[in-house]
Amino acid sequence: MNEYRLILKPEAAGGVQQDSALQQALRQGATERELVERSSGGLEDLSRLYYFLDRWRGANLIHYELWEGSRKLATIEPLIVGFTFAPAPLPGTPVLSRFAYLRRIGDATVLESPLSPVRIRLEPEAVGAALALSTPELVEMLLATGFIEDAAASEPGDRLVWEFHDLLFHRRSRHCGDSGQVGGTYRFRDRLEPWPALRPPYSGKRIALARPDMEELSRQDPPLTRVLEGRRSVREAGRPPLTLGQLSEFLYRTAAIRETARGQQEELVRRVFPSGGGIHELEFYLSVDQCQGLARGFYHYHSGEHALYRLKASRKQNEALRERAAGGWRGLFPLPQVLITLDARFPRIAWKYEGMGYRTVLLDAGAALQTMYLVATAMDLAPCAIGNGDPDLFAAAAGVDAFSETSVAEFALSARGLEAGPTAAPPSAP
């Protein structure tokens, strides 16, 4: 087993002044053997040493440096509290784990893996050796920290199905081992302005939409249980097609902003569906093919104004969006009369949430999709969620920079045909 120099992170200040000699030694770095040797060797001194080491390890304040003679090779930074080494036997054919990846953080080159409880900061001259598994000291360290696996071993099926990016996203966007990097940390507060609640309107032609009479609707709507039980994905499109009146009502009931409020850090929004932190980063865009009273084209729904803005997207781009999302239906069902693309103003949500911004967007999109399903069912329209869009196609059609806004989900909406069979009773039923 290699010997490592233990380093105390600077955050470990305060509360332990009574042991400043130990603290000082650890700030410069010392092996565990050196620490034991510099204590008096008495039981009380040793228990004191291990009491503090345990405490700092438990608070994730100890790093481990691997040295080869006078050359530092790497530093191990635990990502979970209470990390300890677990030596493992070298496999027959050692290879880097398929979940390992190398990246730059600040000036450092680091090796990480969603399966490892640590991050390894590699010294520049050790990068090649680490990847080639050519230095025994590094191999031993990578083995003990979960970066090496046996190329000859077959992966169990329940692990095999996890793709690299799925596992990384999952582990890094939840509190796995409480690495402290996930949550509403507002880490850009001093560097960037928060994005406003409402997206600035586009400059295209504006079409104000009619607002439904909500009192009347709440008298006429089918009961909740009938709507829930009657909800189905309906891919058939009925004739005559959807009307602008229906589309206006649908958009108002699902996406229109009910209220904005000044929060402590940023503007907050209320809609009928919930959103992490009340941020409401989702925008609604419409690829209209057939809608009575509305020209075919690509539109942004301004959810604060309850209005549509016609965008400059070409007919080809508009068609490609519907084709890409629902193209799998070809030959079985017609493409939807209207395709709604949900897009996230990602900087608005990432300004607050660290490590979980995109996770929150997807959860929010799920809440929006179910709301659209239920409203469409209550209105006796044909709804179907779609998870197949192309964000690059969308960004080109909307003329947005994909870092600012990116599409995350789609929803097909058409008039309901008789052939689709009954779901909920029509709104006028008692």
Ligand X SMILES: Cc1cc2nc3c(=O)[nH]c(=O)nc-3n(C[C@H](O)[C@H](O)[C@H](O)COP(=O)(O)O)c2cc1C
| Total interface residues for ligand X by CB under 6 A | 9
Q: How far is the CB of 384 from ligand X (least distance, A)?
A: 5
Q: How far is the CB of 381 from ligand X (least distance, A)?
A: 14
Does 233 bind ligand X (CB under 6 A)? Our answer is yes
Does 421 bind ligand X (CB under 6 A)? Our answer is no
Q: Which pair of structure tokens corresponds to residue 98?
A: 């398929």
Q: How far is the CB of 222 from ligand X (least distance, A)?
A: 17
Does 201 bind ligand X (CB under 6 A)? Our answer is no
Whole-number Å distance between alpha carbons of 379 and 416? 10
Would you say 223 or 387 has its CB closer to ligand X? 387
The DSSP bridge pattern shows strands 206-208 and 267-270 to be unpaired
Does 386 bind ligand X (CB under 6 A)? Our answer is yes
Question: Which of 232, 263, 363, 367 is the binder for ligand X (CB under 6 A)?
Answer: 232
Question: 353-372: which residues touch ligand X (CB under 6 A)?
Answer: 369
Q: How far is the CB of 333 from ligand X (least distance, A)?
A: 8
Would you say 18 or 388 has its CB closer to ligand X? 388
Would you say 12 or 335 has its CB closer to ligand X? 335
Does 375 bind ligand X (CB under 6 A)? Our answer is no
Q: Are 229 and 425 in contact (CB under 8 A)?
A: no
Would you say 197 or 369 has its CB closer to ligand X? 369
Region of 129-137, 192-200, 298-306, 385-393 interacting with ligand X (CB under 6 A): 385-393
Q: How far is the CB of 158 from ligand X (least distance, A)?
A: 23
Q: Which pair of structure tokens corresponds to residue 118?
A: 């640590």
Would you say 2 or 370 has its CB closer to ligand X? 370
Closest CA to 341 of 356, 319, 354, 325: 325
Size (the chain), residues: 430
Whole-number Å distance between alpha carbons of 418 and 39? 86
Q: How far is the CB of 370 from ligand X (least distance, A)?
A: 8
Region of 37-45, 114-122, 200-208, 383-391 interacting with ligand X (CB under 6 A): 383-391
Q: How far is the CB of 273 from ligand X (least distance, A)?
A: 14
Does 384 bind ligand X (CB under 6 A)? Our answer is yes
Q: Are 300 and 407 in contact (CB under 8 A)?
A: no
Partners of 112 in the β-ladder: 101
Does 48 bind ligand X (CB under 6 A)? Our answer is no
Question: Which of 163, 165, 388, 422 is the binder for ligand X (CB under 6 A)?
Answer: 388
Q: Are 344 and 353 in contact (CB under 8 A)?
A: no
Question: Which of 385, 393, 413, 424 is the binder for ligand X (CB under 6 A)?
Answer: 385
Q: How far is the CB of 412 from ligand X (least distance, A)?
A: 8
**Chain residues that interact with ligand X, rule: CB under 6 A:** 232-233, 235, 369, 384-388
